[in-house]
């Protein structure tokens, strides 16, 4: 085959096209950019070679040498990118064909008779090398596709990893931001809780002081009675002593009159002692109520405690409103005996319930006073104690305004009150409930009908 023949021209064109295929197959523009510039100019080299052969009529240069040169180009390209597996496979595919083409041309030039004698064997070997070439080109193509698929998968995995890393970084940023927000909220809540505790303690103290104020007002009025008796009987006793002294100065003394004066004097002193003791009892109750609870239980006369605080609550309200009048009665079970409790705490509970009861009847009295027939309503508060089934029961009943049914489940909640603003803290019944249930293992219940009255029931282990 000569360059000047159509077959030679076809070989030149086929070689040039093979170089372009090589560039595309091995991706030399990306893998070996500099060497790719040389391969891109292969068209010019082939054209120049073709022109020289046509112009000068070169007949002694066969296509075998052309294929040998093409094989050298492939070998050099594979050497440049030996890490690309399909390139090595392509070299393995082209190698036998290039070697056979080179040997065939060499034998034509050196031993032509040997070449002609064994032309059939050499042709078979060339055919085998072509089959080998096609087979390994297919294998190389599949390897390239597999590598391309692997590259795509790796890229997908890398993209997924990048997305995961980005999402992880985003989540970490969100977690850090949320943690900072939660930390700030925690600090704000702790600060608010500290302020709330301070406020709660202040309100509890305010409620205790309000209770103490009610007690003090009641005591001021209640203690006035025995003090009046003491003063009156003291004055009468002084008069009796003066009369007795005058009688003793007379020449003729009347023993019967002296005995009568002494008996009256003794009776007055007994009454002074009685009412003085009554005043001392009231003062002692006030001191017990005002001082902090020791938390120690002690045997207590529950009937006396209830009677004492009922009177003090009534007089406390009377001190605020001179026009207020109400009847209060007691039904105390004498078999109740002494109950183990904390008298200061339970005294606060009873005072709160009695004060609320008198307040309720006072409000209903005011409502009745504005109606057409105010005389039909008579305010009344009643206290009853019983010992039943191993429990001491105290019932405080009034015929006041009552509590609406929808509010009865909320009256023991802290800061909830049915009184107008400024007249209640909403802590009285809440503290009373805690004292009875937590401090004495008892129960505090309410039964009420709006417009008819209310009954509070305390049950304590007896």
- C-alpha 364/C-alpha 370 separation (Å) is 10
Q: Which domain, by its residues, includes 58?
A: 6-164
**Same-domain pairing of 443 and 300:** yes
Residues in CB range of 227: below 8 A, 6 or more apart? 275, 279
Last residue of a domain, one of 148, 164, 180: 164
Whether residue 379 lies inside any domain: the answer is yes
Tokens coding 312: 């003090």
Whether residue 371 lies inside any domain: the answer is yes
**Same-domain pairing of 23 and 134:** yes
**Same-domain pairing of 267 and 342:** no
Number of domains observed in the structure of the chain: 3
Whether residue 398 lies inside any domain: the answer is yes
258 and 240 Cβ atoms separated by less than 8 Å: no
Last residue of a domain, one of 247, 269, 291: 291
- CATH number for the domain that contains residue 395: 3.30.565.10
**Same-domain pairing of 449 and 310:** yes
Residues in CB range of 114: below 8 A, 6 or more apart? 107
**Same-domain pairing of 151 and 12:** yes
Whether residue 207 lies inside any domain: the answer is no
Whether residue 191 lies inside any domain: the answer is no
**Same-domain pairing of 440 and 423:** yes
Rg (CA), the chain: 60
Last residue of a domain, one of 291, 316, 340: 291
**Same-domain pairing of 122 and 61:** yes
**Same-domain pairing of 36 and 11:** yes
**Same-domain pairing of 309 and 281:** no
Whether residue 216 lies inside any domain: the answer is no
**Same-domain pairing of 267 and 311:** no
Whether residue 50 lies inside any domain: the answer is yes
Whether residue 177 lies inside any domain: the answer is no
**Same-domain pairing of 239 and 371:** no
Q: What is the pLDDT along the chain (462 residues), one digit of tens a residue?
A: 444 445 555 666 666 677 777 777 777 777 788 887 777 776 666 666 666 655 655 544 455 556 666 667 777 777 777 667 777 777 777 777 777 777 777 787 778 787 778 778 878 887 887 788 788 778 877 877 877 788 888 888 888 889 999 999 999 999 999 999 999 999 999 988 888 888 767 766 666 666 556 556 556 656 766 777 777 778 877 877 877 787 778 777 777 777 887 887 788 788 888 777 767 766 665 555 455 555 688 898 999 889 888 888 888 788 777 788 889 999 999 888 888 888 888 888 898 899 889 989 998 988 877 654 556 889 999 999 999 888 999 999 999 989 888 888 888 877 667 776 556 555 678 888 888 988 889 999 999 998 889 999 999 987
Residues in CB range of 335: below 8 A, 6 or more apart? 387
| Nearest to 96, CA basis, from 118, 76, 120, 125 | 125
**Same-domain pairing of 263 and 298:** no
């Amino acid at each position: 085959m000569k360059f000047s023949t159509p077959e030679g021209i076809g070989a030149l064109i086929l070689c040039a096209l093979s170089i372009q295929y090589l560039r595309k197959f091995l991706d030399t523009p990306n893998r070996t950019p500099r060497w790719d510039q040389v391969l891109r100019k292969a068209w010019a080299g082939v054209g120049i070679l073709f022109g020289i052969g046509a112009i000068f009529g070169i007949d002694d240069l066969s296509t075998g040498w052309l294929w040998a040169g093409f094989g050298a180009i492939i070998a050099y390209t594979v050497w440049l990118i030996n890490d690309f597996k399909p390139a090595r496979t392509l070299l393995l595919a082209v190698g036998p064909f290039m070697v056979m083409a080179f040997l065939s041309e060499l034998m034509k030039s050196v031993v032509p008779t040997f070449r002609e004698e064994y032309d059939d064997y050499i042709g078979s070997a060339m055919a085998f090398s072509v089959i080998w070439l096609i087979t390994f080109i297919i294998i190389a193509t599949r390897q390239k596709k597999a590598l391309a698929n692997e590259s795509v998968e790796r890229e997908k995995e890398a993209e997924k990893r990048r997305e995961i890393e980005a999402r992880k970084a985003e989540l970490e940023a969100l977690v850090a931001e949320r943690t900072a927000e939660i930390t700030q909220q925690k600090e704000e809540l702790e600060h608010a809780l500290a302020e709330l505790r301070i406020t709660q303690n202040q309100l509890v103290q305010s409620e205790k002081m309000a209770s103490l104020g009610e007690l003090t007002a009641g005591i001021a009025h209640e203690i006035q009675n025995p003090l009046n008796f003491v003063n009156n009987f003291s004055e009468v006793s002084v008069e009796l002593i003066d009369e007795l002294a005058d009688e003793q100065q007379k020449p003729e003394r009347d023993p019967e009159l002296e005995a009568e004066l002494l008996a009256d004097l003794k009776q007055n002193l007994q009454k002074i002692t009685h009412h003085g003791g009554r005043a001392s009892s009231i003062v002692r109750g006030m001191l017990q109520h005002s001082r902090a609870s020791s938390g120690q239980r002690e045997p207590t006369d529950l009937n006396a405690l209830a009677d004492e605080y009922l009177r003090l609550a009534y007089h406390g309200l009377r001190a605020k409103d001179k026009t207020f009048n109400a009847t209060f009665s007691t039904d105390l079970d004498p078999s109740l005996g002494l109950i183990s409790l904390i008298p200061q705490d339970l005294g606060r509970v009873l005072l709160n319930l009695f004060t609320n009861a008198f307040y309720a009847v006072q409000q209903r009295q005011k409502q009745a006073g504005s109606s057409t027939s105010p005389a039909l309503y008579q305010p009344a508060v009643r206290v009853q104690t019983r010992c039943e089934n191993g429990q001491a029961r105290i019932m405080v009943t009034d015929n006041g305004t009552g509590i609406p049914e929808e509010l009865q489940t909320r009256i023991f909640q802290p800061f909830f009150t049915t009184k107008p603003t400024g007249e209640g803290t909403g802590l009285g019944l809440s503290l009373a409930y805690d004292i009875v249930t937590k401090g004495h293992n008892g129960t505090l219940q309410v039964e009420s009908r709006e417009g008819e009255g209310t009954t509070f029931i305390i049950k304590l282990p007896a």
